Amino acid sequence: MEGAVCVFQLKGHITPVRTVVFSPDGLALVSGGVGGLMNIWSLRDGSVLQTVIAGSGAIQNIVWIPDVGVAVCSNRSKVRWNIFWNQNQFTRRPRMVM
């Protein structure tokens, strides 16, 4: 793309990244890998805000929920993680999926 500039190279996954989603405010990015690792990135400086192991299988989908955080689904798991955002800190709470 003509005129495009690389701002950050986000390095933090050992396995291939399967999904990437921007936060609603555009200040963060969440990436999910084949190995079940999820990184939440600051788009202000390119740093990892938090790393979460969401499950033993590949992350299938990540959805930002405005004013709440993210919901993550991985295969080989019947647990959906709700990751809540609070003052630049994420806390995770498992929710069972039937």
Which residue segments constitute the domains of the chain, with CATH numbers given?
17-96 (2.40.10.480)
Evaluate whether 36 touches 58 at the Cβ level (below 8 Å). Answer: yes
Region 16-45 average pLDDT: 90
Which pLDDT does position 17 carry in this prediction?
93
What is the reported pTM?
0.75
Q: How many CB atoms lie within 10 A of CB 14?
A: 8
Mean pLDDT over all residues of the chain?
Answer: 78
